[in-house]
Amino acid sequence: MNHIRSRACAALILTLAAPLAPAMTAVERQVDAASAPHTALGRAARPVTVHYVHRKDEYANSPHFRSLRETFKHAVAVCVEANRRLGRPAHPPAAFPDQILRVHNFDYSAPNRNIVYSVSYGVQMAEDCSLYEIERRSAVLSSTKGECRIDLVDKKAEGECDARGHANAAPRPRSPTRAQYDATTAALAADPRLTERMNAVRQLTGLAPGAAAAAERLTIAGHVCEVVQPTPGGAGACVSKEGSFIPAAGTEGVVLMEIFGPEKIKAVDVKFDMPVDPAIFTPYLSGGYTITSGRDQ
Protein backbone atom coordinates (compact mmCIF):
# COMPACT_ATOMS: atom_id res chain seq x y z
CA MET A 1 0.00 0.00 0.00
CA ASN A 2 2.84 2.40 0.85
CA HIS A 3 4.47 1.91 -2.52
CA ILE A 4 1.14 2.69 -4.23
CA ARG A 5 0.82 5.91 -2.23
CA SER A 6 4.44 6.82 -3.04
CA ARG A 7 3.77 6.33 -6.74
CA ALA A 8 0.61 8.41 -6.45
CA CYS A 9 2.52 11.21 -4.72
CA ALA A 10 5.26 11.09 -7.35
CA ALA A 11 2.66 11.22 -10.11
CA LEU A 12 1.00 14.22 -8.46
CA ILE A 13 4.32 16.05 -8.15
CA LEU A 14 5.13 15.36 -11.80
CA THR A 15 1.68 16.57 -12.82
CA LEU A 16 2.00 19.82 -10.86
CA ALA A 17 5.57 20.33 -12.06
CA ALA A 18 4.66 19.82 -15.70
CA PRO A 19 4.94 22.97 -17.79
CA LEU A 20 1.68 24.87 -18.06
CA ALA A 21 0.80 27.06 -20.99
CA PRO A 22 1.86 30.64 -20.19
CA ALA A 23 -1.25 32.31 -18.84
CA MET A 24 -1.78 34.93 -16.20
CA THR A 25 -4.46 34.67 -13.56
CA ALA A 26 -7.15 37.35 -13.40
CA VAL A 27 -5.37 39.06 -10.49
CA GLU A 28 -2.04 38.93 -12.35
CA ARG A 29 -3.65 40.53 -15.41
CA GLN A 30 -5.13 43.25 -13.20
CA VAL A 31 -1.74 44.03 -11.66
CA ASP A 32 0.08 43.81 -14.98
CA ALA A 33 -2.37 46.28 -16.52
CA ALA A 34 -1.89 48.84 -13.72
CA SER A 35 -2.06 52.36 -15.13
CA ALA A 36 -0.06 55.40 -14.08
CA PRO A 37 -1.85 57.32 -11.28
CA HIS A 38 -1.49 60.68 -13.03
CA THR A 39 -3.70 59.51 -15.92
CA ALA A 40 -6.68 59.47 -13.56
CA LEU A 41 -6.15 63.12 -12.58
CA GLY A 42 -6.42 64.81 -15.95
CA ARG A 43 -5.13 68.31 -16.60
CA ALA A 44 -4.63 70.82 -13.81
CA ALA A 45 -5.06 74.58 -13.96
CA ARG A 46 -1.73 75.00 -12.16
CA PRO A 47 0.35 71.88 -12.80
CA VAL A 48 3.69 71.06 -11.22
CA THR A 49 6.68 69.79 -13.19
CA VAL A 50 8.01 66.33 -12.41
CA HIS A 51 10.24 63.65 -13.83
CA TYR A 52 8.13 60.51 -14.28
CA VAL A 53 9.32 56.89 -14.48
CA HIS A 54 7.32 53.70 -14.70
CA ARG A 55 9.53 50.80 -13.62
CA LYS A 56 8.49 47.18 -14.05
CA ASP A 57 10.07 43.96 -12.79
CA GLU A 58 12.01 41.63 -15.07
CA TYR A 59 11.34 38.55 -12.94
CA ALA A 60 9.79 36.59 -15.81
CA ASN A 61 13.31 36.04 -17.18
CA SER A 62 14.90 35.46 -13.77
CA PRO A 63 16.32 31.96 -13.13
CA HIS A 64 15.89 32.62 -9.41
CA PHE A 65 12.17 33.39 -9.66
CA ARG A 66 11.56 30.57 -12.13
CA SER A 67 13.19 28.22 -9.63
CA LEU A 68 11.05 29.62 -6.81
CA ARG A 69 7.93 28.98 -8.87
CA GLU A 70 8.91 25.34 -9.36
CA THR A 71 9.71 25.00 -5.65
CA PHE A 72 6.30 26.44 -4.84
CA LYS A 73 4.59 23.91 -7.13
CA HIS A 74 6.47 21.08 -5.43
CA ALA A 75 5.39 22.40 -2.00
CA VAL A 76 1.75 22.28 -3.12
CA ALA A 77 2.16 18.67 -4.23
CA VAL A 78 3.67 17.72 -0.89
CA CYS A 79 0.86 19.57 0.92
CA VAL A 80 -1.80 17.67 -1.05
CA GLU A 81 -0.29 14.26 -0.24
CA ALA A 82 0.20 15.16 3.44
CA ASN A 83 -3.38 16.41 3.78
CA ARG A 84 -4.81 13.31 2.15
CA ARG A 85 -2.86 11.06 4.51
CA LEU A 86 -4.12 13.06 7.49
CA GLY A 87 -7.70 13.14 6.24
CA ARG A 88 -7.67 16.88 5.75
CA PRO A 89 -9.17 18.72 2.77
CA ALA A 90 -6.85 19.39 -0.15
CA HIS A 91 -7.74 21.83 -2.91
CA PRO A 92 -4.71 22.34 -5.17
CA PRO A 93 -5.00 25.05 -7.80
CA ALA A 94 -6.10 24.10 -11.30
CA ALA A 95 -3.38 26.39 -12.66
CA PHE A 96 -0.39 28.21 -11.27
CA PRO A 97 0.33 31.94 -11.62
CA ASP A 98 2.63 32.86 -14.45
CA GLN A 99 4.85 34.68 -11.92
CA ILE A 100 4.88 34.43 -8.13
CA LEU A 101 5.89 38.08 -7.79
CA ARG A 102 5.14 41.15 -9.90
CA VAL A 103 6.11 44.77 -9.22
CA HIS A 104 5.19 48.08 -10.84
CA ASN A 105 6.61 51.37 -9.51
CA PHE A 106 5.29 54.73 -10.70
CA ASP A 107 7.84 57.36 -9.65
CA TYR A 108 7.22 61.13 -9.64
CA SER A 109 10.12 63.43 -8.71
CA ALA A 110 9.92 67.19 -8.19
CA PRO A 111 13.00 69.23 -7.21
CA ASN A 112 12.26 68.91 -3.49
CA ARG A 113 9.95 65.91 -3.09
CA ASN A 114 9.23 62.47 -4.47
CA ILE A 115 6.36 60.01 -4.43
CA VAL A 116 6.49 56.40 -5.58
CA TYR A 117 3.28 54.46 -6.18
CA SER A 118 3.72 50.68 -6.03
CA VAL A 119 1.43 47.98 -7.38
CA SER A 120 2.57 44.46 -6.54
CA TYR A 121 1.40 40.87 -6.78
CA GLY A 122 2.30 37.87 -4.66
CA VAL A 123 0.93 34.43 -3.89
CA GLN A 124 0.82 32.21 -0.80
CA MET A 125 -0.43 28.73 0.01
CA ALA A 126 -3.30 28.06 2.41
CA GLU A 127 -3.63 25.07 4.78
CA ASP A 128 -5.85 23.26 2.26
CA CYS A 129 -3.10 23.61 -0.40
CA SER A 130 -5.07 26.19 -2.37
CA LEU A 131 -3.40 29.42 -3.40
CA TYR A 132 -4.46 32.89 -2.45
CA GLU A 133 -3.26 35.83 -4.47
CA ILE A 134 -2.31 39.15 -2.89
CA GLU A 135 -2.52 42.48 -4.66
CA ARG A 136 -0.99 45.45 -2.88
CA ARG A 137 -1.27 49.13 -3.81
CA SER A 138 0.65 51.69 -1.80
CA ALA A 139 2.64 54.89 -2.08
CA VAL A 140 5.44 56.65 -0.20
CA LEU A 141 5.84 60.43 -0.25
CA SER A 142 9.28 61.61 0.89
CA SER A 143 11.28 64.79 1.32
CA THR A 144 13.32 66.53 4.01
CA LYS A 145 10.07 66.79 5.98
CA GLY A 146 10.01 63.00 6.38
CA GLU A 147 7.85 60.24 4.92
CA CYS A 148 4.14 59.70 4.42
CA ARG A 149 3.32 56.00 3.95
CA ILE A 150 0.01 55.42 2.18
CA ASP A 151 -2.09 52.27 1.85
CA LEU A 152 -4.19 52.94 -1.25
CA VAL A 153 -6.47 49.94 -0.67
CA ASP A 154 -7.32 50.31 3.02
CA LYS A 155 -7.13 54.10 2.69
CA LYS A 156 -4.71 54.72 5.52
CA ALA A 157 -1.84 57.20 5.66
CA GLU A 158 0.72 57.63 8.41
CA GLY A 159 3.71 59.82 9.01
CA GLU A 160 4.31 63.31 7.64
CA CYS A 161 1.17 63.62 5.52
CA ASP A 162 0.52 67.36 5.28
CA ALA A 163 -2.12 69.20 3.28
CA ARG A 164 0.35 70.33 0.59
CA GLY A 165 2.14 67.06 -0.04
CA HIS A 166 5.53 68.41 1.11
CA ALA A 167 5.36 71.24 -1.45
CA ASN A 168 7.29 73.52 0.93
CA ALA A 169 9.99 70.99 1.82
CA ALA A 170 13.54 72.31 1.72
CA PRO A 171 15.75 70.50 -0.82
CA ARG A 172 18.37 68.18 0.62
CA PRO A 173 21.96 69.44 0.48
CA ARG A 174 23.64 67.91 -2.55
CA SER A 175 26.50 65.47 -2.21
CA PRO A 176 29.93 66.81 -3.21
CA THR A 177 31.03 66.20 -6.79
CA ARG A 178 34.15 64.19 -7.53
CA ALA A 179 36.07 67.42 -8.22
CA GLN A 180 34.97 68.88 -4.88
CA TYR A 181 35.92 65.67 -3.10
CA ASP A 182 39.38 65.66 -4.71
CA ALA A 183 39.95 69.32 -3.82
CA THR A 184 39.04 68.66 -0.20
CA THR A 185 41.17 65.53 0.12
CA ALA A 186 44.13 67.27 -1.56
CA ALA A 187 43.95 70.12 0.94
CA LEU A 188 43.81 67.66 3.83
CA ALA A 189 46.63 65.55 2.41
CA ALA A 190 48.85 68.64 2.30
CA ASP A 191 48.84 68.59 6.08
CA PRO A 192 51.62 66.15 7.11
CA ARG A 193 49.75 65.38 10.33
CA LEU A 194 46.95 63.79 8.27
CA THR A 195 49.02 61.88 5.70
CA GLU A 196 48.46 58.48 7.27
CA ARG A 197 44.72 59.00 7.60
CA MET A 198 44.35 60.28 4.04
CA ASN A 199 46.23 57.27 2.68
CA ALA A 200 43.73 55.07 4.52
CA VAL A 201 40.83 57.00 2.96
CA ARG A 202 42.29 56.51 -0.53
CA GLN A 203 42.66 52.79 0.09
CA LEU A 204 39.03 52.56 1.16
CA THR A 205 37.73 54.49 -1.86
CA GLY A 206 40.11 52.75 -4.26
CA LEU A 207 40.73 56.04 -6.04
CA ALA A 208 43.81 58.20 -6.29
CA PRO A 209 43.39 61.99 -6.32
CA GLY A 210 42.00 63.14 -9.65
CA ALA A 211 40.96 59.65 -10.71
CA ALA A 212 37.33 59.40 -11.69
CA ALA A 213 35.34 56.30 -10.93
CA ALA A 214 34.50 54.42 -14.11
CA ALA A 215 30.72 54.25 -14.08
CA GLU A 216 28.88 51.90 -16.42
CA ARG A 217 26.47 53.73 -18.71
CA LEU A 218 23.26 52.17 -19.99
CA THR A 219 20.44 53.31 -22.25
CA ILE A 220 17.06 52.44 -20.78
CA ALA A 221 13.74 53.43 -22.35
CA GLY A 222 15.67 55.77 -24.65
CA HIS A 223 17.56 57.60 -21.88
CA VAL A 224 21.14 57.34 -20.64
CA CYS A 225 21.87 56.52 -17.01
CA GLU A 226 24.92 55.67 -14.90
CA VAL A 227 25.05 52.54 -12.78
CA VAL A 228 25.56 53.12 -9.08
CA GLN A 229 26.90 49.81 -7.84
CA PRO A 230 25.19 48.28 -4.82
CA THR A 231 27.00 48.00 -1.54
CA PRO A 232 27.42 44.46 -0.16
CA GLY A 233 23.97 43.28 0.79
CA GLY A 234 22.41 46.49 -0.52
CA ALA A 235 20.71 47.78 -3.63
CA GLY A 236 22.08 49.58 -6.66
CA ALA A 237 20.50 51.71 -9.36
CA CYS A 238 20.97 53.23 -12.78
CA VAL A 239 20.51 56.97 -12.37
CA SER A 240 19.83 59.58 -15.06
CA LYS A 241 20.46 63.29 -14.69
CA GLU A 242 18.52 64.43 -17.73
CA GLY A 243 15.80 67.05 -17.53
CA SER A 244 15.68 70.66 -16.40
CA PHE A 245 16.42 69.80 -12.75
CA ILE A 246 18.07 67.08 -10.69
CA PRO A 247 15.79 65.85 -7.90
CA ALA A 248 17.32 66.17 -4.44
CA ALA A 249 14.75 64.02 -2.62
CA GLY A 250 16.27 60.57 -2.20
CA THR A 251 18.69 59.71 -5.01
CA GLU A 252 20.26 62.69 -6.77
CA GLY A 253 18.83 61.98 -10.17
CA VAL A 254 16.10 59.86 -11.68
CA VAL A 255 16.21 56.10 -11.11
CA LEU A 256 15.64 54.24 -14.37
CA MET A 257 16.56 50.85 -12.95
CA GLU A 258 16.63 49.33 -9.47
CA ILE A 259 19.19 46.58 -8.91
CA PHE A 260 18.86 43.89 -6.23
CA GLY A 261 21.72 41.49 -6.83
CA PRO A 262 20.95 39.79 -10.16
CA GLU A 263 17.33 41.01 -10.14
CA LYS A 264 16.20 44.24 -11.79
CA ILE A 265 13.17 46.51 -11.95
CA LYS A 266 13.60 48.54 -15.12
CA ALA A 267 11.94 51.60 -16.65
CA VAL A 268 9.45 50.98 -19.44
CA ASP A 269 8.27 54.59 -19.70
CA VAL A 270 10.13 57.81 -18.88
CA LYS A 271 9.04 61.43 -19.22
CA PHE A 272 11.23 64.30 -18.07
CA ASP A 273 9.72 67.71 -17.25
CA MET A 274 6.17 66.43 -17.36
CA PRO A 275 3.35 68.67 -16.07
CA VAL A 276 0.98 66.94 -13.62
CA ASP A 277 -1.77 67.83 -11.21
CA PRO A 278 -0.24 68.62 -7.76
CA ALA A 279 -2.74 66.12 -6.34
CA ILE A 280 -0.34 63.38 -7.46
CA PHE A 281 1.55 64.11 -4.21
CA THR A 282 -1.55 63.94 -1.97
CA PRO A 283 -3.61 60.81 -2.75
CA TYR A 284 -4.58 60.72 0.95
CA LEU A 285 -6.64 63.90 0.48
CA SER A 286 -8.99 62.29 -2.06
CA GLY A 287 -11.50 61.36 0.65
CA GLY A 288 -12.11 58.49 3.03
CA TYR A 289 -8.55 58.23 4.37
CA THR A 290 -7.55 57.77 7.99
CA ILE A 291 -4.45 59.91 8.48
CA THR A 292 -2.16 59.33 11.46
CA SER A 293 0.61 61.80 12.17
CA GLY A 294 4.06 60.42 12.83
CA ARG A 295 4.09 62.49 16.00
CA ASP A 296 1.04 60.59 17.24
CA GLN A 297 2.86 57.23 17.26
Instruction: Identify any residues that bridge with 101 across adjacent strands, giving them in sequence order.
Output: 122
261 and 162 co-located in one domain: yes
CB burial string 182-202: b at 16+ within 10 A, e below: beebeeebeeeeeeeebeeee
The kind and range of the H/E element at 259 are strand 254-260
Are both 135 and 168 inside the same structural domain? yes
The CA radius of gyration of the chain, in Å to the nearest whole number, is 25
Ordered strands of the 101-109 beta sheet: 217-220, 223-228, 236-240, 254-260, 263-276, 48-57, 101-109, 114-125, 131-143, 146-151, 156-159, 290-293
Local structure of residue 278 (DSSP, 8 states):
G
Residues 124 and 231 in one domain: yes
End-to-end distance of the chain based on CA atoms, in angstroms?
A: 60
Label each residue of 90-150 as H, E or C. CCCCCCCCCCCEEEEEEEEECCCCEEEEEEEEEEEECCCCCEEEEEEEEEEEEECCEEEEE
Mark whether 196 and 235 lie in a shared domain: no
Residue-by-residue pLDDT tens, the chain, 297 positions: 444 444 444 444 444 444 444 578 899 999 999 999 999 998 888 999 999 999 999 999 899 999 999 999 999 999 999 999 999 999 999 888 999 999 999 999 999 999 999 999 999 999 999 999 999 999 999 999 999 999 999 999 999 999 999 999 998 776 655 566 567 767 766 777 767 776 766 666 555 554 445 678 999 999 999 998 766 666 889 999 999 998 865 567 899 999 988 899 999 999 999 999 999 999 999 989 999 986 554
Q: Are 116 and 147 within 8 A, CB to CB?
A: no
Q: Are residues 67 and 204 in the same domain?
A: no
Q: What's the domain count of the chain?
A: 2
Q: Based on the fold, state whether residues 142 and 34 are members of the same structural domain.
A: yes
- Do 137 and 272 sit in the same domain of this protein? yes
pTM reported for the whole predicted model: 0.80
Let me know whether 267 and 249 are in one domain.
Answer: yes
Residues 237 and 102 in one domain: yes
- Same domain for 185 and 99: no
Torsion over CA: 109, 115, 121, 123 (sign) = positive
Whether the CB-CB separation of 120 and 253 falls below 8 Å is answered with no
If asked whether residues 137 and 207 sit together in one domain, one would say no
* 271/175 Cα distance (integer angstroms): 25
Q: Give 192's DSSP letter.
A: G
- Structural domain harbouring 189: 175-212
